[in-house]
Amino acid sequence: MSIGLTGGIATGKSTVAKMIASRGGHIIDADQVAREVVEPGTEGSRRVRERFGNHLFTSSGELDRLALRKVIFHDERARKDLNQLLHPLILHRMKSMRDKIESKPGRMAVLDIPLLIEEGLASLVDQVIVVVVPESLQLQRLVAREGISEEQALKMIQAQMPIEEKKKFADVIIDNSGTMADTERQVDVLWETWVRDNGFVR
């Protein structure tokens, strides 16, 4: 069985992923995979270098991700090009990791993908979990986490698909607006259901 875990920025998706992992879920982190596919010597690194130039790489061959973000932030064409270059590599690796986990009896793959719904990737998984909080709390957490103004944080939130829209795609909704214990209880109930219905190994 495979689970897709998603949510808006600063809703606590990573926190929920850690809770599921502590119970036995095998997390596949899309952000981590995205970093791995552009490591020195990889096909992804070669593609980025060919399209964007050597100036985005350090002397040791590492991609300067901050410099790249600045480029694509101001250039929509560049952002689309980057996605076309790297998304197939990221998707291929995530599918391979998912299949390897699922090939072992009693194992569950959890694909932690921020843009799971926006990128039309829900078909990769058996169930979709959306982690939600009210926008006011989302804004508060984002300001505190990033050290930015409310105006900047609001722009980041509004650049994403609204949480209410994401909820329409959810098989399971986890409300992360309460205490950690509140969220843990929701994950406990969910995990017990998975164990009962699918016989996952703890």
Residue-range domain boundaries for the chain: 1-25+108-202, 33-107
Confidence of residue 129 (pLDDT cuts 50, 70, 90): very high
Predicted model pTM: 0.89
Q: Are 96 and 12 in contact (CB under 8 A)?
A: no
Q: Is 96 annotated as a binding residue?
A: no
Is the pLDDT score of 135 beyond 90? yes
Q: What gap in Å lies between CA 39 and CA 45, rounded to an integer?
A: 6
Q: What is the pLDDT of residue 200?
A: 61
Q: What is the pLDDT of residues 108-118, one digit of tens each?
A: 999 999 999 99
Q: Homologous superfamily of 1-25+108-202 in CATH?
A: P-loop containing nucleotide triphosphate hydrolases (3.40.50.300)
Buried b (16+ CB within 10 A) or exposed e, 108-118: bbbbbbbebbe
Q: Is 11 annotated as a binding residue?
A: yes
Q: Is 14 annotated as a binding residue?
A: yes
Q: Is 183 annotated as a binding residue?
A: no
Q: Is 15 annotated as a binding residue?
A: yes
Closest CA to 176 of 138, 127, 119: 138
Q: What is the pLDDT of residues 43-97, one digit of tens each?
A: 999 999 999 999 999 999 999 998 998 898 789 899 999 999 999 999 999 999 9
Q: What gap in Å lies between CA 199 and CA 193, rounded to an integer?
A: 9
As a dihedral over the C-alpha atoms of residue 186, residue 192, residue 197, residue 202, rounded to 10 degrees, the angle is 130
